[in-house]
Structure 1
Amino acid sequence: MFQVNFLLTQFTALILAGFLRTFLSPVAVTAATRHVFGLVIGLALGYFCFGRQAIHLAGLPALCYIAMRTQNPRNIQRVVLTTSLLYLSCVHYHRQMYNYGSYTLDITGPLMVITQKVTSLAYSIHDGLTRREEELTPTQRYQAVKKMPTTLEYFSYVFHFQALMAGPVIFYRDYIDFIHGRNLAGAKALTGCDKNSGHYDEIVLEPSPAPVVIKKVVVSLLCAAMFVTFIPTYPIQKLKDDDFLKNTTVFYKMWYLMVTTMLVRFKYYHAWIFADAICNNSGLGFSGYDDSGEPKWDLASNVDVYGFEMSLNLKSSIEHWNKGTNRWLRSIVYERVKHNKIMFTYALSALWHGFYPGYYLTFANGAFFTVVSRVTRRNIRPYFLGSKGMKFLYDALTFATMRLLMAYITFSFILLEFIPSVTMYLYVYLFPHIIGLALLVIAPRLPKIPSHKEATVKESKTPQELINGTARKSM
């Protein structure tokens, strides 16, 4: 029932997004009208989908807004982060106790997005009101909020219907720019001239999102069809079956992990791409033009399917998956802590997701293999840069490795349980962990070689030329 309601709300949101862009554009109505429309529709869809559970959608941001209004701006970010995570954790815990292992849609999904919104806003207010611009990173400087939002602005931002159900997190600055029409900066413009008055009027040509919206809706529905059609053949619960564990080879187990985790990803692709289409249909998500002059609608994109599935390293995989959450984690953790950045970032991500042991196994492994990936790339990759053939071999090896590694890291996130996950690790002999530990020990001890560019320069010059060049630089 929840899934049916979810689909109905998303298709309704898609239609209403077009109405907002067409009939309630910034040039036709006031900003307050657009705020009220987004807020009322968001609340209505939230109540339709979740019924009485929707009280939590109002409870968490209300408490956080009280904190924003009453706390010192120097501490506001810590208070809001603590308040929102405690509230979200209580809901996570309740779900885990009374509906353990369930994959049904519930209120925790929208609450997780709301938590991202209120915490990112609190940090932006803290940056805008208490820190000097030279202390901020370029992203923090852009997102800084120098005036406390009004009640209407705040709750419209929290509940706007385009991204309430499945995200992505839209940062406050981007949302306010959208409400006022400033998100079209960089759009093509026409200039009209009144010959009598000499007055020039600039008319901004808003690019039509129709082609990209149609494309994203079709791709989203295809992803849903893939998931519904094939997931019964590769159920994740089979990983707990004794017959599967004892009577299949290591190679088949790894193949099964790769297929079942890929199929589960199609469920996320469906939800995120459709949500992206809703944002685009309302005019939210425009980010300028590419080199060929085509409009780009990727500001609100939460996933790059091709970039993720074809990634050659763990960093690239992470950057292309759940991009809104990556921006949120970078904004409030990674760019702010001075030590153990990776550990704190993965820890917050795990806590934000809930308390299932499988989450913590996935993020612990993610932190470990992130370190392994960095060490390997720094110390081994230079050996493969001497020729195109060697570079192609390296890319092929890393491509195959990433497919295996992502399945190995993420299956516990889907399986949720601790003992079955560890049992699977043991049945594949912990090979990725063992290889990772070996690389951490061996890779830094390998002989250092210059980068390909440095080697080429040194080979193309005689010793005397190098000495003369050095002498000239010193002069």
Structure 2
Amino acid sequence: MAEAVDYVYYDGSRLFSWVSDMSGIPVDQVNFVISQFLALGLAPLFRSVFHPSKTSAATRHAFGLVLGLAFGYFCFGMQAVHLAGLPALCYIVMRTQSPHVMQRTVLAVALIYLSCIHLHRQKYDYGSYTLDITGPLMVITQKVTSLAFSLHDGLTRQEEELTANQKYHMIKKMPTALEYFSYMFHFQALMCGPVLFYRDYIDFIDGHNFLKHAPPSTSVDSNSNSKNFVLEPSPSLVVFKKFVSSMLCALLFMVLLPKFPITRVKEQDFVTEESLVSKMSYLIVATSLVRFKYYHAWLLADAICNASGLGFNGYRKDGSARWDLISNVDVLGFELGLSLRDSIEQWNKGTTRWLRMCVYERAPRFKTVLTYALSALWHGFYPGYYLTFASGAMFTFASRAVRRSIRPYFMGSKSHKAVYDILTMLTTRVVMGYITFSFVILEFWPSVNLYLNMYLWLHVLAVLAMTVLPVLIPPRRLPPANAVANGMPAKKLD
């Protein structure tokens, strides 16, 4: 019955329903894969036929915009009207409101529009993972709000008032309609991101993304409007590696996840009869396998962007090109993160950058809480999201308390620090499984029921870490000798 409901709700093209029937893969996922493969095939045209040295910026804008609209209609049908509705309303706000308040109005309009779509989806297609417009709308919301804040910074604030990140992204000129809607709908990142900030997008369209990262021996003016171009590094090898990695993640997801379905955690015998160790082991494995779906989508999207020339980020010390400017995930960085904060920074990195730009760097107080709150609202209204983000905020504070009190005792030697790093990495894996399963199953009572049957053991430890640990082991300063040896100032650890 669930599959039938998903099929009726989905409004995208049915042209390839026969592929769905033959493969058993839902038609929405078939359309997604086809659109992404087409995007990967068409992306190199930006580096050949539509290279900045051969065509105008307007042509490059139009090419990306037209393809984006075509892919949007192919995958979402008439629902794609919302992909235009949200940015159109926000563009009107940008054009008509004072730049002193425009950024907050845009944020409110975008979140209200997105929230209405989330609620509609939640009412008519509850708990389904059918492809629909909420995913692209979430990315568009990030684009319109980040652009609004960048315009606010460029038009109303002095440079000395801005952080380094805000200075880099500030915009002093309102985009034209073509520039704006091309930025919203360019096909490389329409389906699932990654979020691309406006300055980086314009640098790509104008060809300055290579000029500003030219090798030191190359004499170019990246701020000029002349047609000066340096020898551009080829992304072919990077695209190939990301594509293969994406396909491998898809294969692992399809083969292994059915053996560890996340719905198992809602079954009564699992909740009441399995031991705490068995429950935690299953949560860690099941949530890890679910992540491979995201790795597949994000790595493929990153490969598409790189194939078009998007994502170039300068050169390493050995002279090799970096193509990670807009990468959304570092798989090994996330899976081997030494702390909750380290792992979070490697997961959905575009969203992390967006939250930092719009909330964390601007909120006068309660930065962490407000950042998690916006992240939860942006995701939607499933109770499982809010359980995950509330727990995430709690464990972020708890990990800081542990770090301040415990870490200095392991800084005496490299071997001690290695032991500390291994322990924190393993602890982070446990915490990730514990707090993210509710994000996947979406529901409140099944999540709470499992937590209660696990005695809320990690929540209790987190509370003790924040309240009792600082009293028993007060945070202390590293000795100057250790601080120098470890390349850190002798100060209280944060």
The amino acid of 1:451's aligned partner reads L
CA contact (8 A) 2:411 2:482 kept: no
Equivalent residues in 2 for 1:351-366, closer than 5 Å: 351-366=377-392
Shift of 1:455: 5.6
CA RMSD between the two structures: 1.6
Which of 155, 163, 187 pairs up with 2:214? Answer: 187
Paired residues, number:
450
Distance 1:457 1:13 in 2: 50
Relative to 1, partners in 2 of residues 1:407 and 1:191: Cα closer, same or farther, differing over 3 Å?
Answer: closer
Which of 161, 169, 194 pairs up with 1:143? Answer: 169
Match of 1:464 in 2: none
SS at match of 2:371: helix
CA contact (8 A) 1:386 1:452 kept: no
Distance 2:140 2:172 in 1: 21
Identity of aligned residues (%): 62
Shift of 1:329: 0.3
Match of 2:3 in 1: none
- 1:288-332 CA-to-partner distances (Å, cap 9, x unmatched) read 111111000000100000100001111101110000000000000
Shift of 1:449: 4.2
Shift of 1:457: 8.1
TM-score with structure 1 length normalisation? 0.92
Residue 82, structure 1, aligned to residue 108, structure 2: yes
Residue 166, structure 1, aligned to residue 192, structure 2: yes
Residue 307, structure 1, aligned to residue 307, structure 2: no
Residue 9, structure 1, aligned to residue 35, structure 2: yes
Shift of 1:68: 0.7
Which of 240, 253, 256 pairs up with 2:266? Answer: 240
Match of 2:257 in 1: 231
Which of 265, 283, 288 pairs up with 2:314? Answer: 288
Shift of 1:111: 0.3
Relative to 1, partners in 2 of residues 1:248 and 1:128: Cα closer, same or farther, differing over 3 Å?
Answer: same
Shift of 1:387: 2.5
Equivalent residues in 2 for 1:321-332, closer than 5 Å: 321-332=347-358
The amino acid of 1:46's aligned partner reads G
Shift of 1:391: 1.7
Relative to 1, partners in 2 of residues 1:243 and 1:141: Cα closer, same or farther, differing over 3 Å?
Answer: same
Relative to 1, partners in 2 of residues 1:191 and 1:448: Cα closer, same or farther, differing over 3 Å?
Answer: closer
Match of 1:44 in 2: 70
Shift of 1:448: 4.7
Shift of 1:378: 1.1
The amino acid of 1:39's aligned partner reads L
Which of 412, 416, 438 pairs up with 1:412? Answer: 438
CA contact (8 A) 1:129 1:146 kept: yes
- 1:358-383 CA-to-partner distances (Å, cap 9, x unmatched) read 00000000111111111111111111
Match of 2:148 in 1: 122
Match of 1:461 in 2: none
SS at match of 1:74: coil
Residue 432, structure 1, aligned to residue 458, structure 2: yes
Shift of 1:243: 1.4
- 1:189-221 CA-to-partner distances (Å, cap 9, x unmatched) read 8879xxxxxxxx965000000000000000000
Distance 2:481 2:372 in 1: 36
Shift of 1:452: 4.6
Match of 1:28 in 2: 54
- 1:379-434 CA-to-partner distances (Å, cap 9, x unmatched) read 11111112333222211211110110011111100010000001111121111111
Residue 333, structure 1, aligned to residue 386, structure 2: no
Distance 1:181 1:421 in 2: 49
Relative to 1, partners in 2 of residues 1:274 and 1:452: Cα closer, same or farther, differing over 3 Å?
Answer: farther
Distance 1:127 1:136 in 2: 8
CA contact (8 A) 1:125 1:146 kept: yes
CA contact (8 A) 2:45 2:51 kept: no
Distance 1:253 1:97 in 2: 31
Distance 1:160 1:68 in 2: 20
Distance 2:154 2:307 in 1: 31
CA contact (8 A) 1:213 1:281 kept: yes
CA contact (8 A) 1:353 1:359 kept: yes
Relative to 1, partners in 2 of residues 1:243 and 1:295: Cα closer, same or farther, differing over 3 Å?
Answer: same
The amino acid of 1:284's aligned partner reads L
Match of 2:82 in 1: 56
Match of 1:105 in 2: 131
Distance 1:455 1:2 in 2: 56
Distance 1:329 1:121 in 2: 13
Match of 1:198 in 2: none
SS at match of 1:362: helix
Distance 1:36 1:450 in 2: 57
Match of 1:472 in 2: none
Relative to 1, partners in 2 of residues 1:355 and 1:187: Cα closer, same or farther, differing over 3 Å?
Answer: same
SS at match of 1:23: coil
Match of 2:9 in 1: none
SS at match of 2:468: helix
Match of 2:292 in 1: 266
Shift of 1:441: 1.8
Distance 1:51 1:457 in 2: 61
Relative to 1, partners in 2 of residues 1:243 and 1:379: Cα closer, same or farther, differing over 3 Å?
Answer: same
The amino acid of 1:187's aligned partner reads A
